[in-house]
Amino acid sequence: MPAISIIVPIYNMEHLMRRCIDSLLAQTFTDYELLLIDDGSKDGSWGICHEYARKDARISIYHKENGGLSDARNYGLSKAIGKYTIFADPDDWVSPDGLDRLYVTAEREQADMTICDLYREDEYSRHYVCQRPQSLKAEDVLKELFSTIQGFAWNKLIRRDVYTRFGISYPKGIYGCEDQYTMAAILLHDIKIAYEPVAFYHYMYNSASLTRHYDERTYEMDMHVLEMFRTLLEGNVVQPLAVRSKEDAVFARAFWNGRDYYSSVAFKQRFASFRDRVSSLNEMTVVKVCMTAACRGWYQPAIRMVFFLFRVKRLIKCVKSNIS
């Protein structure tokens, strides 16, 4: 039995997945299996999976009908045989010594979940994101999950039997909060948590995410996710914090992605009550000013200003990158 099962859900990633797979195969830690789950890709991803499977016996490949990220992750968990599991997205990549250090810490501490730091980067910059919890008690980490600790699955090495022991799976039919919801479900239980101060996962931030499609169904989905968290955390002291966090997420997605959907009047009608909450959001001051203006009825000019400033910032990054 391998020590770690690495699960990589793949959908139409032929142009990006090689770097991810190559970086996983370059790990200094070698006692793992790599599961490539092709979720009904329509491009050449499945062919690339076959190519890698022929090169390395640790790679297992699976092709299934498209069911979304959670469905692919659950499928991978059903096929995994490692003591521990960890996920990777095919458009990201990892540094070579991360799994080694995570495994050593997990074994030493006999941890159910071992958390590490991460990098957030784009083509011009890289930022180290520390994920050290203030406390290693599950109930305390659950609170931090809605403030300072990211809900991502790919910077957490988790014992595979945690999922089966507590009957936990990734929720199907939603997008954007699958990881956080599942981590919250796990942290509701009294599990052993460890932390390893290493950033080995490189989360590639895509600026195109600021222009993702948004319509009324997006808003309804966000509200559905909010209610899922409300129900999951019913009776838990963290519920008010979680609900407020998800309400803020509903507002933030509408602000960033709703440019082609909301008029200034419509945005004010739906989000005017957020005007007094903007100051507490984790945004730059200029963005907070624009968000406040949007809540007062100036959404369209406010969002145009924000996107203009981001284009300028991106241009400056590009120039600095070329100079250096």
Residue 207 has pLDDT above 80, yes or no: no
H/E stretch holding 257 reads helix 239-257
* Alpha-carbon gap, residue 98 to 106, rounded angstroms: 12
Burial, 25: exposed, middle or buried (Cβ in 10 Å; 0-12, 13-18, 19+)? Answer: middle
Q: Are strands 84-87 and 4-10 parallel, antiparallel or unpaired?
A: parallel
Token readout for 189 is 């239980």
pLDDT at 313: 74
- Is 324's pLDDT higher than 70? no
Quick one: pLDDT at residue 109?
98
Average pLDDT over residues 197-222: 83
Rounded Cα distance, 125 and 112, in Å: 33
Query: pLDDT, tens digit, for every residue of 66-120?
Result: 999 999 999 999 999 999 999 999 999 999 999 999 999 999 999 999 999 999 9
**Strands in the chain per DSSP E:** 4-10, 32-38, 59-63, 84-87, 93-94, 113-121, 126-129, 156-159, 193-204
- Among the residue ranges 102-116, 242-256, 288-302, 306-320, the one predicted with the least confidence is 306-320
Classify 139 as helix, strand or coil. Answer: helix
pLDDT at 321 over 70: no
pLDDT of residue 322: 63
For residues 115, 118, 120, 121, the Cα torsion angle rounded to the nearest 10 degrees is -150
- CA-angle at 243, arms to 193 and 235, nearest 5°: 70
Rounded alpha-carbon distances, angstroms, from residue 228 to 147, 172, 320: 18, 12, 44
- Do residues 166 and 186 make contact, with C-beta atoms less than 8 angstroms apart? yes
How remote is the C-alpha of 96 from its chain's centroid?
21
* pLDDT for the residue numbered 160: 98
Please, which pLDDT band fits residue 234 given cuts at 50, 70 and 90?
Answer: very high
Structure tokens at 310: 């981001």
Distance, CA of 298 to CA of 303 (rounded, Å): 9
Given a cut of 60, whether residue 209 has pLDDT beyond it is no
The total number of residues shown for the chain amounts to 324
Residue 210 pLDDT grade (very low, low, confident, very high; cuts 50, 70, 90): very low
Token reading at 318: 């590009």
Q: What is the pLDDT of residues 139-189, one digit of tens each?
A: 999 999 999 999 999 999 999 999 999 999 999 988 889 999 999 999 999
pLDDT tens-digit readout, 16-62? 999 999 999 999 999 999 999 999 999 999 999 999 999 999 999 99
Contact status, residue 86 vs residue 7, Cβ threshold 8 Å: yes
Tokens of 27: 């790990």
**Alpha carbons 20 and 54: distance in angstroms, whole number:** 17
CB 38 within 8 A of CB 61: yes
pLDDT given for residue 319 in this prediction: 64
Enumerate the β-bridge partners of residue 126: 121
* Residue found by looking up tokens 């910077």 in the block: 155
**Which residues touch 159 (CB under 8 Å, ≥6 apart)?**
83, 84, 85, 106, 111, 112, 113
